[in-house]
Amino acid sequence: MRVAVFSDSHGYRGRLSNLLMMLEADGPLDAIIHLGDGDRDLYQLGVELPAVYQVSGNCDFMPDCLLRDVRLGNARVVLTHGHQQNVKTDRERLLRLAVQYQAQAVLFGHTHSQWSDLKNGVLLLNPGAAMDGRCAVLEIDRQGGIGYKFY
């Protein structure tokens, strides 16, 4: 399974569209994740999209969807923008979310910086800001193993 991960597009739909086209040139996407601060940007591109999973950020208008846990193939993944977890100063809260939801990964945005770490078998990943031309792709195998690549 191949999943595009975006965050912090902040209305820069042209950059988001370019990233999406670049990723699709490498092969079809099975799903798209948007981690907030641009909650409407994907839908305003005017293109057909695969399954979309998103959460709201601190600059969005859908504050009722701040956290989601989703199953992507055989992997459970928690999605959050990160502002409520204070990810700029404390990423241990992300690990607690992983334990709470029995997730293999927690994806977040908010800091605008690409970052990843593997702690206690849990992937913590920030794709960076789409407005700056940054994103990530998850590759999920049949056993639920998760690999990734930054763009």
Domain range for 135 is 2-150
pLDDT in tens, the chain (151 residues): 999 999 999 999 999 999 999 999 999 999 999 999 998 899 898 888 899 999 999 999 766 789 999 999 999 999 999 999 999 998 899 999 999 999 999 999 999 999 999 999 999 999 999 999 999 999 999 999 999 999 9
pTM over 0.85: yes
Contact between 37 and 8 under an 8 Å Cβ cutoff? The reply is yes
Q: What is the CATH number of the domain that holds 6?
A: 3.60.21.10
Say how many domains are in the chain: 1
CA 45 to CA 145: how far, in whole Å? 31
